[in-house]
Amino acid sequence: MQEPHIPDDVEPQMLDRTARARLRTLSKNNADLVARHLVMAGRLIDGDPATAYEHAQAAMRRAGRVDVVREALAVTAYATGNYAEALRELRTVRRLSGIDAHRPMEADCERGLGRPERALTVVAETDPASLSEHDRVELAIVASGARADLGETEAGLLVLESALVGKVTRPELRRRLDLVKAERLEELGKSEEARVLRDAAGPEPEPAEEIVVLDLADDFPQGERRPVEAEYSPEGEDSSADTEQVAEQVAEPDADAESPEQADGAEGAEAVAQTDSAIDEAGSADEVVDVRDPSTASADVASEEDSEEFEQAELDLDVSDKERE
């Protein structure tokens, strides 16, 4: 089966880091391709759920034992109305990961399959305290719809009112509850109340501009070296050749290169030369400040006896000069 197209700008690093960690059991190339399919599934699920579903299927064919892959397949199947498959995949995710997530989706799948009683059973078995605020609202909406499916519209309205009385801090969630409440009011023949509620909710807010976050953290396993990358050349020239040369030098040290001991010796000699030059410029040893490296200075400092012999030799030279005159 031909896999759906992935644009070149889609990178594995665009996938959530936690999800990428679940792909570590795959080979590097396969994990990267699966990650790109998952990125595309998430990108398209709102605007083009059918293509998102195809990407999730492609990822499942390559990594069917990875829970995040089966989760993506469940979510995209649900978005396309394939409720039986979505329900099956949600249960597979629970079996693979041990995590009981997406309870509102599971209940709504039962409702979508024409089984509102089972949907209410899923709702009753779920602990609201274990859910996020978003999932609590979604579960209340599913329960209200299931009650309406059973002809219990009043009970469905009470479910929503109870949810609104509860702690709902996010405005978009309150708006969603109000709109579903307007549907229940409409079903009960309270059209004017429904209209007032819809007017108060206002129009659908503009979606926020999508921000793509690239995770630049090192994804290579410990001990595996990242490949050497070409440096940016401000002049626009290709610096890949220079980078390869640097990589070769790092991999194979020059045989003629100085050892650390030789380098230390060269530095010491240079320090002595600098000191001698300072002595010449100062005119006498008394005016010289020792500019040598402390690590080499101690090896070159004369003893007191040597200093005395040096001073005596200078006196002898002065006497000899006077005799010549």
pLDDT at 119: 98
Per-residue tokens: 211: 């921000």
Q: Give dist(CA 316, CA 325) in Å, integer.
A: 14
Kindly list the distances between the CA atom of residue 113 and the CA atoms of 12, 53, 147, 180, in Å, as whole numbers in the listed order. 35, 19, 15, 20
Q: Give dist(CA 35, CA 13) in Å, integer.
A: 8
Determine the structural domain holding residue 28 and report its residue range: 12-201
pLDDT at 244: 41
Would 158 be classed as within a structural domain? yes
Would 220 be classed as within a structural domain? no
pLDDT category at 202 given cuts 50, 70, 90 is confident
pLDDT at 232: 31
Q: Taking Cα atoms as reference points, which of 153, 97, 104 lies closest to residue 128?
A: 104
pLDDT at 42: 96
Would 43 be classed as within a structural domain? yes
Q: Amino acid letter at 182?
A: A
Would 191 be classed as within a structural domain? yes
Per-residue tokens: 235: 């002049």
Task: Indicate whether 122 pLDDT > 50.
Answer: yes
Per-residue tokens: 283: 């005119």
Contact 139, 131 (CB under 8 A): yes
Task: Indicate whether 6 pLDDT > 90.
Answer: yes
Give the number of other Cβ atoms within 10 Å of residue 30's Cβ: 13
Per-residue tokens: 17: 């880091």
Q: What is the DSSP string of 86-145?
A: HHHHHHHHHHHH-----HHHHHHHHHHTT-HHHHHHHHHTS-GGGS-HHHHHHHHHHHHH
Would 242 be classed as within a structural domain? no
Give the number of other Cβ atoms within 10 Å of residue 22's Cβ: 21
pLDDT category at 153 given cuts 50, 70, 90 is very high
Would 99 be classed as within a structural domain? yes
Residue with tokens 């469905």: 156
Would 259 be classed as within a structural domain? no
Q: Which of 37-46, 118-127, 142-151, 205-214 has the lowest mean pLDDT?
A: 205-214
Give the mean pLDDT of 287-305: 41
Task: Indicate whether 214 pLDDT > 70.
Answer: no
DSSP summary character for residue 268: H
Give the mean pLDDT of 29-45: 97
Residue 210 CB contacts under 8 Å (≥ 6 apart), including other chains: none
pLDDT at 287: 38
Write out pLDDT tens, residues 221-280.
444 433 333 333 333 334 333 434 434 443 444 444 444 444 444 444 454 455 445 444
Residue 45 CB contacts under 8 Å (≥ 6 apart), including other chains: 52, 75, 76, 79
Contact 137, 176 (CB under 8 A): yes
Task: Indicate whether 34 pLDDT > 70.
Answer: yes
Give the mean pLDDT of 80-95: 96
pLDDT category at 81 given cuts 50, 70, 90 is very high
Write out pLDDT tens, residues 54-65.
999 999 999 999
pLDDT at 171: 92
Number of domains in the chain: 1
Would 296 be classed as within a structural domain? no
Q: Taking Cα atoms as reference points, which of 156, 97, 168, 84 lies closest to residue 123?
A: 156
pLDDT at 315: 56
Q: Taking Cα atoms as reference points, which of 214, 228, 221, 219 lies closest to residue 11?
A: 214
Instruction: Give the CATH number for residue 40.
Output: 1.25.40.10
Rg (CA), the chain: 39
Write out pLDDT tens, residues 130-150.
999 999 999 999 999 999 999
Task: Indicate whether 11 pLDDT > 60.
Answer: yes
Q: Give dist(CA 310, CA 135) in Å, integer.
A: 92
pLDDT at 247: 41
Residue with tokens 């329900």: 87
The pTM of the full predicted model, rounded to 2 decimals, is 0.63
